[in-house]
Structure 1
Amino acid sequence: MNLSAALAQLKVMKHYLIASALVFVIGIVLGATSSEQFQAFLDAQLAALKQISKAVEETEQPQWTLFWVIFWNNASKSLLIIALGVFIGIFPLFFLIGNGLLLGYIGAVSVKQDSLWALIKGIVPHGILEIPAIIVASALGLRLGLLILKNLFALVSPARSSKSREQLRVFMKSLVPLAIMLVVILFLAAVIESTVTLWLVKG
């Protein structure tokens, strides 16, 4: 596993990372200010979260179950969104907007019903790891989709085709170490969310 090559790939991807972060921020703003336009989506997401929360509370070890639910949900979705990037990066964009909408909506409701401090306690401890991981995973999906598209267009030009194939090869080589890094980060985020964040919210 070439970690230095993987980190170098992240530097090459800086524009994808910036674009992914901006899309996520747009989703947050829309969720906080224009939630009524996306109410059906938000209601469905919140209903799913409530069902999961109820199921976790009914287990013999709710905190341990909560950790695994959080970790599995975030890790599997992040890896899936990278893979779905093959469809020209469309799904990573929807993933970013959807997560941003939900975060923005929950944040706005939390501040309105409680306080800004309640929002900070409920998001910041684990969010400082989880949110960047989601953005990186989406950026990887975007990069994969656009590289595949670039290779398709380059088929008409042998010179461009060779360069595009090499870019894709280098990118694919870096995916394994980057995916492992993301899983480790999301593991730590899940530990924090099921312990520190939970303690702060209940305190």
Structure 2
Amino acid sequence: MNNLMLQFKRMKHYFIASALVFTVSMVLGAGYSEQFQAFIEMQLKGMEQWAQSITKTENPQWSLFWLIFWNNISKSLLVIGVGAFFGVIPLFFLIANGLILGYVIAVSAQQQSVLFVIKGILPHGILEIPAVVFACAFGLRMGVLVMKSLWGLVNPTRSLVYKEEFRSFAKALIPVFVIIIITLTVAALIESTVTYWLIKP
């Protein structure tokens, strides 16, 4: 537990940076979507296909839960692991999700209402969005630690320090995974029940 708290303290700037990247991406998606139209449309087509496949099942809400659950958890945990590739993938993940969410919010507010947006995002988003940002922050730190470790190969005087830093970080990943899984499970339950009910025609 002490090590986990220590890692959280060391992660402060990564949390802030990840939240800023996500927020800026949302603003770009909402206000400058034409610059990213091709990418956004490609992502939304995939989401539309998922939605259509769910409506054809016997229990759409249960199918929706499992789809959200596996999609969010697998991507969030994966983004930490692939952060080892210098943090590029977590950064892309933040930007992509921010752009899409910003675009969806802007379009939904224009076509429906601000209340519709609040009902469609706030109940589960209050847990899901921080969890995704949280996971990406750990992915970014993973990338930084890998770069430090590589630097340690040519700088032996810092090698032991970097190795210990990486070891402490790695020890904290299991409880971090548990936190992410629990948070996203609750978010998926809320999205497939409360949010589903609120926005259902």
Which residue number in structure 1 is paired with residue 58 of structure 2? 60
Give unpaired runs (5+ residues) of structure 1: none
- Superposed CA offset, 1:11-64 (max 9, x none): 210000000000001110110011011111111111111100010110111110
Which residue number in structure 2 is paired with residue 39 of structure 1? 37
- Superposed CA offset, 1:120-154 (max 9, x none): 11000000100000001000100001001011112
Give unpaired runs (5+ residues) of structure 2: none
Once residues 28 and 159 of structure 1 are traced to their aligned partners in structure 2, the CA distance between those partners, rounded to angstroms, is: 42
Residue 115 (structure 1) shift: 1.2
- Match of residue 200, structure 2, among 194, 199, 202: 202
- Match of residue 10, structure 2, among 9, 12, 23: 12
CA RMSD, 1 decimal: 1.0
TM-score (norm 1): 0.96
The within-5 A match list for 1:162-173 is 162-173=160-171
Which residue number in structure 2 is paired with residue 151 of structure 1? 149
After the TM superposition, which segments of 4 or more aligned residues of structure 1 sit over 4 Å from their partners? none
- Superposed CA offset, 1:48-92 (max 9, x none): 111000101101111101000000000000011111101100000
SS at match of 2:57: coil
- Match of residue 101, structure 1, among 95, 99, 104: 99
- Match of residue 124, structure 2, among 123, 126, 142: 126
Which residue number in structure 2 is paired with residue 72 of structure 1? 70
Once residues 64 and 107 of structure 1 are traced to their aligned partners in structure 2, the CA distance between those partners, rounded to angstroms, is: 25
TM-score (norm 2): 0.97
SS at match of 1:59: coil
Once residues 41 and 176 of structure 1 are traced to their aligned partners in structure 2, the CA distance between those partners, rounded to angstroms, is: 34
Once residues 158 and 169 of structure 2 are traced to their aligned partners in structure 1, the CA distance between those partners, rounded to angstroms, is: 16
Once residues 180 and 133 of structure 1 are traced to their aligned partners in structure 2, the CA distance between those partners, rounded to angstroms, is: 11
SS at match of 2:73: helix
Query: What is the total number of aligned residue pairs between the two structures?
Result: 201
Match for 1:86: what amino acid? A
SS at match of 2:58: coil
Once residues 48 and 65 of structure 1 are traced to their aligned partners in structure 2, the CA distance between those partners, rounded to angstroms, is: 16
Once residues 102 and 174 of structure 1 are traced to their aligned partners in structure 2, the CA distance between those partners, rounded to angstroms, is: 31
Residue 4 (structure 1) shift: 4.2
